[in-house]
Structure 1
């Protein structure tokens, strides 16, 4: 199988989908790996490292797409890349289609066989999303604390305070991987943290494993509203696999918050869980509305590409191997969990949540 690794061109994105060691493993299985020149530089991998393991280096991205049967990426295709895809090509990447109708329609029209990292479900878990959720969750508390700084538009409150002063109060919406990591880091900074979830069993678990300065609370609009006036940082990590994120903080609710408070929307890839959110970049990460600082960077792990690339390849490589071995036509038969990853195939949508988000009919395999 010919596998293509193009350079990511989304703004401020420095990750690469396969490390040189990952490329070596694919080549050892008899596949050909074609890497666009400088694709790995942002993550600290030189072209020579890919050449040394037997990968073919190509300067022109169009050559990658022309040769490759499978394209392996990190981020979803952006519009300037659409023309590069061949009809019926296989794509494996983060897609987040529920937040992008235009991309969904393109994949259907081009009959792309698109498998997404973020919807692959194994024993109730999302193993290809979890590594990036860890990075984004840990980053969320750090970014929230930084943007509380007065020079960033925040209230000027130090998250952990010092002796004799007030500590920041942090609200974490969602008790999954990202939310748990966010709570751990916020607690480690010394803040007073409350983590919300609708799963009582999950809350019981979090209550036993998180530090003493983390409280748990059942997630309801009433409970969120009650705590907002005291909160300095709100971190939204809510995820419904494949679907748009629910809007847990409305525009009207911002009026309950103190001026200079910070919202960090980790769910922005899936449309965001704050009504006032819109995607931002690492270059311009924030905007202010109703006096509240919004941090809504759509590719948060891209800020730490070396860590993120290693973590991503560790998780995705076994599935890339299986996809390359059997191809898109047979992989779901040979490894049934790949059915949850399949979003579009030869013009048909196979993700019900995406169909509901865009009013497009979907099918079951």
Structure 2
């Protein structure tokens, strides 16, 4: 199979979907790998590193027009919509539940869209989302601490305090992979950490994992309103696989918070879990609403591309190998987890939560699969 690796053109996105080590594995299995010029430079991989393992370095037109399986990190942006085509399988983070224009572009083009974030194992793990959730979770307190500085509009409070001065209070909404990693780093920065979740079983796991060093509370509207009153930073870490994130902090709740407090919305790729959120970039990461600083960068792991790219390839490569070796139809028949990653086939939406988010028709994967080759 001819596997293409596209260069990311989203602003300040430095990750690449495949390392030279991953390219070598595919070449050794008899596949052709074509890499867009400069695709790996932001992650520390020069074109010569790909050529040395047998990949061909080509221009953007050849990558997009000739690949059977195209690997990316981020969803296509508007400038790339015209390159989507029937017969192409696109394997990347899509996050289309919160992106109507991209959803329609995928459907209109007939491309087969397989989303990293909806690949889901029978025990409900999200193996291709997990490493980026770990990175984003660990970045969230770090970036929130930066935003809390007075020069950036924050309250002017040090996360860990100093002897005689209390630490900042950090509230994490959601105790999944993002929430756990955010709590680990916030604890390491010596903050007073609270984690809210809706699952008592998950809170028991967090109690053990975090050695009882955080305050755990049931997530509901009244509890959220209560913790907002003295929170210095709130990290939104909720996720419903493939669906729009629930709005846990509404606009009307913001006056409960002290001016200069910070909201870090890690769920922004899925529409955000704060009602006042909108996606920002690394170039312009924060904005204020009613005196509350919002950090809503939509590709947070892109800030640490060397770590992120290696972590991503570690988990995606086995799925890429399966698709390349067997073809997508056989690969998803053999692996129910990969099958859940399929969002679009031949102009049909095969992921129910996405269809419901946009009020569009849903087609069962079994009914659309005949269009695959």
Q: Which residue of structure 1 lines up, in the alignment, with residue 312 of structure 2?
A: 312
Residue 138 of structure 2 aligns with which residue?
138
d(CA) in 1 for partners of 2:112, 2:9: 21
Q: Tell me whether 1:76 sits opposite 2:72 in the alignment.
A: no
Correspondence for 1:267: 267
Determine whether 1:345 maps to 2:345: yes
Structure 1 residue aligned with 2:286: 286
Once the two structures are TM-superposed, the CA of residue 212 in structure 1 deviates from its matched residue by: 4.2
CA shift for structure 1 position 198: 0.5
Q: Take 1:46 and 1:193, find their aligned partners in 2: how far apart are those partners?
A: 41
Secondary structure at the residue paired with 1:230? coil
Partner of 1:178: 178
Q: What does residue 51 of structure 1 align with?
A: 51
The equivalences for 1:1-365 within 5 A come to: 1-58=1-58, 60-122=59-121, 123-364=123-364, 365=366
Q: RMSD of aligned C-alpha atoms? A: 0.8
Q: Which residue of 1 aligns with 2:370?
A: none
Question: Which digits, 9 at most, give the CA deviation of each residue in 1:26-66, with x for residues without a partner?
Answer: 001110000011100000001110000000001x2011111
Q: Which runs of no fewer than 5 residues in structure 2 stay unpaired? A: 367-373
TM-score by length of 2: 0.96
CA contact (8 A) 2:249 2:274 kept: yes
User: 1:187·1:211 contact (CA, 8 Å) conserved in 2?
Assistant: no
Q: 1-side partners of 2:246 and 2:110: how far apart?
A: 30
Q: Distance in 2 between matches of 1:211 and 1:101?
A: 42
Distance 1:107 1:325 in 2: 25
8 Å contact from structure 1 (residues 98, 353) kept in 2: yes
Deviations 1:141-191, CA, capped at 9 Å, x for gaps: 111111111011100010000000021001000000000000111111111
Q: Distance in 1 between matches of 2:228 and 2:196?
A: 12
Say whether the 8 Å CA contact 1:113–1:328 is kept in structure 2.
no
The 1:209–1:335 alpha-carbon spacing in structure 2 relative to 1, beyond 3 Å, is closer
Deviations, residues 289-318 of structure 1 (Å, cap 9, x unaligned): 110000000000000000000000001000
Q: Offset at 1:211? A: 4.4
Give SS of 1:118's match.
helix
Cα distance in 2 for residues equivalent to 1:14 and 1:21: 18
**Contact 2:84–2:106 (Cα < 8 Å) also in 1:** no
Asked whether the 8 Å contact 1:88–1:111 carries over to 2, the reply is yes
Distance 1:253 1:9 in 2: 36
